[in-house]
A = this chain, B = another copy of it.
Amino acid sequence: MAGRVDAKLAELGIELPPPPAPIASYVGFNVVDYTADFGRRAGLVVISGQIPLVAGKLACTGKVGGAISLEQAQQAARLCFINLLAQLKAACDGDLDKVKRVVRLGGFIAAGAEFTQHALVMNGASDLAVAVFGDAGKHARTTIGVPSLPADAPVEVEGMFEIG
């Protein structure tokens, strides 16, 4: 039986991919286990920066404000968050209902010196976080511009989540 979050994903028409396999010496995520308030066991999930891969290929490449339009960049940020969700699901042993909070998202926008719409791009990830998790999806956020990203990705998003 699908959980509450799985049902919401289905409602949004989102099918999570298998999380990208570990490449070389790093992994998709690590979980720091800790005792939360009132003795509750919890985990802080730290997830690697995700790029807009679809079935192992980048959905688009290039710079935002250049080859990539604002709308394409927002879609790319949304894809990054879907890949974060795929990693998060693995960190939860398949049960996304264990997610207590999206603690923080970090957004990296590949763009030139003159670009100013970083926040609008990153909303592609942030809005999906809230669509999926409701109030628990409201997160702290840092968004910056960068000259380049791995494999010429236009956007990269990393995340920190509380599960328990």
Q: Which of A6-58 contact B (CB under 8 A)?
A: 22-30, 32-37, 39, 41-42, 44, 46-49
Contacts of A60 in B (CB 8 A): none
For the complex formed, measure the closest distance between the CB of A78 and the CB atoms of chain B, giving whole angstroms.
Answer: 12
Contacts A34-B34, A113-B112, A160-B46 hold; do A29 and B148 have CB atoms under 8 A apart? no
Contact yes or no, B103 A46, CB < 8 A? yes
Q: How many copies, total?
A: 3
Q: CA of A127 to CA of B26 in the docked complex: distance in angstroms?
A: 8
Q: Which of A126-141 contact B (CB under 8 A)?
A: 126-127, 129-130, 137-141
Which interface residue of A25, A103, A112, A146 has the most chain B CB atoms within 10 A? A25
Contact yes or no, B39 A123, CB < 8 A? no
Partner of A149, one of B48, B144, B162: B144
Contact yes or no, B141 A48, CB < 8 A? yes
- Name A's B-contacting residues (CB within 8 A): 22-30, 32-37, 39, 41-42, 44, 46-49, 63, 101, 103-106, 108, 110-119, 123, 126-127, 129-130, 137-152, 156, 158, 160, 162
6 smallest beta-carbon distances between A and B, as pairs: A49-B142, A145-B148, A25-B126, A26-B141, A33-B37, A35-B35
